[in-house]
Structures are given as structure tokens and as C-alpha cells.
Amino acid sequence: MANNIQWPKEIQEKFEKLLAKIPFVLRGFAKDKVSKKAESLVVKDNRGDVTEKDLVDAFFAETPFGFQGPLKTDMDEIDIDYRKYGHGDDPADAFKIKYKK
């Protein structure tokens, strides 16, 4: 993880919990890919700290579509609400919620 980018303790703990759910043979690869993606999001926005949104966005960006269902289950188990960051079960959900009368 980059020296100038901070991973708050709560975010680091969530990251580690999600990594623990990944098969051991893929865990190192996933850790590298997801951490680099999260940090690139921080750099892009000219910030210094990784947020929960960065973590969620990075996991979804680096997880193949066929494995995103289990990823959502894992996030639910550790109380990460990925839906509030636009990763709902149905892409139309965000539209329905936004424009609900």
C-alpha cells in the first residue's frame, strides 16, 4: 500500500475481513489488485484517505462479474452496505430509489 495514502483502521479491518473470505490461492493477488485500485481512486480525487466507498468500488471493479454475487453476500455479512454506493442487485434499483414518489 502506498506510503502517502492512509487506510483508516476501520477500513483496513473491513478490507482484511473481505480478503479472508477469498480462497487462499487468490488472496494475495486480490489484495494487490484491490488495494491498488482503491488507492488509485483516492489519488484521482486528490484525497489522502481510503473510504468505505473506495473499498467497495475497488472490490467491484476488480472482481469478475460471475463472482460479484458472493462478494455481495460477503459484504452483507460484515455490514458493508454496497447498495448505497450504486452496486445494487439490479442496475435499475438506483434509478427506482432516486425517483421514487
Does residue 4 lie in a domain region?
A: no
- pLDDT tens string 70-80: 999 999 999 99
The structural domain count of the chain equals 1
**CA atoms of 1 and 25, how far apart (whole Å):** 20
Does residue 63 lie in a domain region?
A: yes
- pLDDT classification of 90: cutoffs 50, 70, 90: low
Does residue 2 lie in a domain region?
A: no
**CA atoms of 99 and 101, how far apart (whole Å):** 6
What are the grid coordinates assigned to 24, written together? 487462499
Minimal CA–CA distance to 14: which of 58, 47, 44, 68? 58
Does residue 42 lie in a domain region?
A: yes
Does residue 54 lie in a domain region?
A: yes
Does residue 68 lie in a domain region?
A: yes
Domain hosting 48: range is 9-98
- pLDDT classification of 94: cutoffs 50, 70, 90: very low
Does residue 71 lie in a domain region?
A: yes
pTM for the full model? 0.84
